[in-house]
Amino acid sequence: ALRLSFFSYPPPLSSIKVVSIVSHTMKLQYCTVAAALALSSTDAFTTSPSFTPRAARPQQAPAAASTTALSMNMFDRFARVAKSTVNDALKNLEDPEKIMNQAIEDMQSDLVKIRQSYAEITATQRRLLKQKEQADALAEDWYTRAQLALQKGNEGLAREALERRQQQVDTAAGIQDQIDAQASSIDKLYEGMQALESKILESKAKKEQMVARARTAQSTQKVNDMLGGVTGKTSMDAFKRMEEKVEALEASAEVSAE
């Protein structure tokens, strides 16, 4: 299967699934071999009568050979099925289209989180701006009161008003520091959000091209395997064994007829 690593997002749970499939396949293969050996051992150690007619003796060899051939045939067929199952599992786990779709979904999920963070920080920035405007307005109001108090000759009241004004000025300055500190973070967050949006659009456009290329490569590989005799080798071997088995049975029948 073609492996494409277009993005750096890892596919989850793949290795665990493959190890489980291969382990299960090895256990089944072991059981099949054990069953075949058990059948062969049973035929080999079966007790025979003390006197066996000469004409009947040649018939025992084909029976043992038939049992062994049947066991080997079952093992080979099971091996082919197991190999096909593992290959299909690997192909499904390494499907380029699924991997790219998952990568795009992960990027979209990250984009949603970035947008949420941007919205929260922007809302906080707006609240701070309103608080600063209120502090500036209060400072201006206390300054006006101080001037009125001086005009009336009330220096104590004017001094108190100026102290209140200074408190609001300090409050407005502190809020402005927070606004300035968040401004750089908001700018960086906005740039990252714009870059991720562009990357998602670019990835969606390239995905179709990459999927088409992957399918073409897989089809070409299958054709090359068929032309090279890779996929048909085991089937040809199985057909050859069946041909030899038929010839052995025909030879046994000729001997029995004699």
Q: State percent of the chain over pLDDT 70.
A: 58
Q: Which of 18, 208, 36, 196 is nearest to 107 (CA)?
A: 196
- Predicted confidence (pLDDT) at residue 91 exceeds the cutoff of 50: yes
Q: What is the pTM of this model?
A: 0.45
DSSP3 helix / strand / coil % (the chain, rounded to 5): 85, 0, 15
Determine the pLDDT at residue 85. 61
How many C-beta neighbours within 10 Å does residue 253 have? 11
CA distance 212 to 202: 16
CA distance 73 to 80: 11
Question: What is the pLDDT confidence band of residue 38, given thresholds at 50, 70 and 90?
Answer: low
Distances (CA, A) of 251 to 59, 68, 103, 156, 183: 11, 17, 63, 131, 94
Rg of the chain taking only CA atoms, in angstroms: 42
- Predicted confidence (pLDDT) at residue 195 exceeds the cutoff of 70: yes
CA distance 26 to 30: 6
Determine the pLDDT at residue 9. 43
- Averaged over 233-239, what is the pLDDT? 66
How does pLDDT run across 120-159, given as a tens digit for each residue? 999 999 999 999 999 999 999 999 999 999 898 888 899 9
Determine the pLDDT at residue 24. 54
With beta carbons less than 8 A apart as the criterion, state whether 25 and 82 touch: yes
Q: Which of 23, 37, 8, 16 is nearest to 93 (CA)?
A: 16
The DSSP secondary-structure symbol of 59 reads: G
Q: Which of 161, 136, 140, 139 is nearest to 150 (CA)?
A: 161
- Predicted confidence (pLDDT) at residue 187 exceeds the cutoff of 80: yes
| Highest-pLDDT range among 37-46, 60-69, 215-224 | 215-224
Q: Domain spans of the chain?
A: 12-45+60-94
